[in-house]
Structure 1
Amino acid sequence: MTARVTTTVAELDTLLRSAEPPAVLDVRWALGDPHGRDHFAAGHVPGAVYVDLDTELAAPPSPEGGRHPLPDLADLQTAARRWGVRDGQPVVVYDDLGNTAAARAWWLLRYAGVAEVTLLDGALGAWRSAGLPLESGAPADPSPGDVVLRPDRLQTVDVDGAADLAATGLLLDARAAERYRGEVEPMDPRAGHIPGAVSAPTGENLAADGTFLPAEVLRKRFADKGADATSRIGVYCGSGVTAAHQIAALALAGYEATLFPGSWSAWSADPARPAATGPLPS
């Protein structure tokens, strides 16, 4: 994956004042917090459009698809046009959680063929820290966009593909380490991890200020997990959201990776699938 992954706050500030600004999407979402739209209204990057992760970046949940199945492409295109995205227009996405939710929009739009999608490095926190202005309230709907989405520009795997990657490649578990070890499970039917998967918590992709770690640091992080130039790499999390952040970090480090969209929520819902516990892959 060679396309640019991030945009700095200084770059976005300049772009927003240009003749052809990017579409800016605010994916304000956190696990267990249903008030994303309220947080958006309290303060967002000027001109940003609110994106609802649960209803616009995911299909309805199911045991087979997990808590956040990929949306139908036609539904995603309708949503993207509602956000005002034009064909060929750059898109910048962010959240207020280190981009761990916004990466879902980044990955989906890349998957659907949008060529220039970047994450605002450091997310909304970096924008605030730079002293840049915030807009409040619910802005008027943008003019409808005309973006055309095309499927399958990035790879995915199903449960069998995830099992194969765990056995013959490198499957990274992007959840918190305690969920990987099976000590807690706040959302899904069973605790533990996919046998053979390696723990790589998403939060460890970020510096203290919420920006991505330098590429060379990320490269060493993933090399220490078993990645190399020939690796077949897959990533999962709880429901396919923060795994996209891991894919962004891997891209910054120079690695391509495949998403298991159903993630642990789909795997653990099938009683025939084994679950491993403890700090080791198996």
Structure 2
Amino acid sequence: MNKRSKKFLSLLVSTMLVGSLLVGCTTNKTAEKKTTTAVTQTEKTKATYADGSYITDAKWLSQNLKNKDILILDARSDKDYAKGHIPGAINVAWQGFSNMEGKPGDKGWGVVLSDDKLSEKLSAIGVDKTKNIVIYADNKSGWGEDGRFVWMLKMAGIENAKMLNGGFNFWESSKYEVSKEVTAPVASKFKIENSNKAGTINTEELAAKLGKVKILDSREKDEYNGAVKFGEARGGHIPGAINLTFNSLFKEDKTFKSAGEIEAIFKAAGLNKEDEIVTYCTAGIRSAHLALALRMMGYNNVKNYDESFYTWAKDASLKVEK
């Protein structure tokens, strides 16, 4: 090989080496850029709430089903429970923990039981402060019963109670385990020591605050406009109430919308975090769920009117709008 050929070959090899180094460097930078972009996008799309302690997700629960420190409560009907439920779940109904004496609209009907009676009921299903309690309902057609239970438990001093994000609908559609085996509760010795009533308001208190608080009607639009669907004495809504259905905060898969989406809904309703807010529905169930969603977003001065429209509509001295 002559000198000219050797020189050409040496130049060719050098060029190839430099090229390969440049390609490798470019590939690494591209990969690094993609990774950085992916992390950024994840952070941007992550649903971050002011207080995420009110919910837990199905994946976490599925990984902890065998954990003895978890108490799972199924707040759906007994018929739905019998068709299939999350393994280990105990079937409960909000009525069993509320005053059912008399009939809807009677003073005190539907409100949470007294501390002594509620302590007995909660002990019977194994509630205590050492357990993580997860409650779920039917987020597709239910009334937000899981929210009612968590709201009630918070009042009773149980801080480690959470709603299952998406409810049974999301659990089932995600193909997590479903059982028909009935779980018998193991009783505890729970006793309410200092109940917190700051999250509730009665009829007299609300009537005195009309025009001074933001009132949210968590029922469906037709109920707000006057439809009588559940035996209410009158149709319509509490004067000045804003209609904001509790399930408007759900995505198609029945999990909560992102923090940004929920905040936009609250802002569109004219809410500010400094406002004193009262939620209501027919019997304080859907409104309890909405009250928790508000707290989850940092609207902390919120109360659930659990006597709700049943009681308001039956009192002829109180005005109703349509």
Q: Check whether TM > 0.5.
A: yes
Is 1:14 the equivalent of 2:63?
A: yes
Equivalent residue, structure 2, for 1:136? 180
Q: Which residue of 1 aligns with 2:71?
A: 23
C-alpha offsets along residues 86-123 of structure 1, whole Å, 9 cap, x if unaligned? 33211100012357112111110011110111000000
The change in CA–CA distance for 1:226 and 1:180 in structure 2 (over 3 A counts) is: same
1:219 and 1:170 mapped to 2: Cα distance? 16
Contact kept? 2:213, 2:275, Cα under 8 Å: yes
Q: 1:259 to 1:177 in 2, by over 3 A?
A: same
Question: Structure 1: which 4+ aligned runs deviate by more than 3 Å?
Answer: 61-67, 183-186
Letter in 2 for 1:10: K
Aligned to 1:72: 114
Secondary structure at 2:134 match in 1? strand
Larger radius of gyration: 2
Please state if 1:221 is matched with 2:270: no
TM-superposition CA deviations, 1:120-139 (whole Å, max 9, x none): 00001111112111110433
Instruction: Note if contact 1:42-1:137 (Cα within 8 Å) is conserved in structure 2.
Output: no
- What is the identity, as a one-letter code, of the residue corresponding to 2:239? P
Q: Corresponding residue for 2:93?
A: 52
**d(CA) in 1 for partners of 2:95, 2:126:** 19
CA contact (8 A) 2:246 2:289 kept: yes
Instruction: State how 1:132-171 maps to structure 2 within 5 Å.
Output: 132-139=176-183, 141-149=184-192, 150-152=194-196, 154-171=198-215
Superposition pairs of residues 30-45 of structure 1, within 5 angstroms: 36-45=77-86
Equivalent AA in structure 2 for residue 44 of structure 1: H
Q: Is the 8 A contact 2:87 2:178 kept in 1?
A: yes
What secondary structure is seen at the aligned counterpart in 2 of 1:172?
A: strand
Q: Percent identity?
A: 24
SS of residue in 2 equivalent to 1:4: helix
User: Who is 1:266 aligned against?
Assistant: 311
SS at match of 2:252: coil
Unaligned runs of 5+ in 2: 1-49
How far, CA to CA, are the matches of 1:3 and 1:12 in structure 2?
15
Question: Which letter does structure 2 place at the counterpart of 1:77?
Answer: S
2:136 counterpart of 1:94: yes
Q: Which runs of 5+ in 1 are unaligned?
A: 29-35, 278-282
Q: Which residue of 1 aligns with 2:32?
A: none
Query: CA deviation digits over 1:176-212, x for unaligned, max 9?
Result: 0111111444321100011111111112111111111
Q: Trace 1:100-249 onto structure 2 (pairs within 5 A).
A: 100-139=144-183, 141-149=184-192, 150-152=194-196, 154-249=198-293
Q: What root-mean-square deviation, in Å, do the aligned CA atoms of Structure 1 and Structure 2 show?
A: 1.9
CA distance in 2, matches of 1:27, 1:145: 19
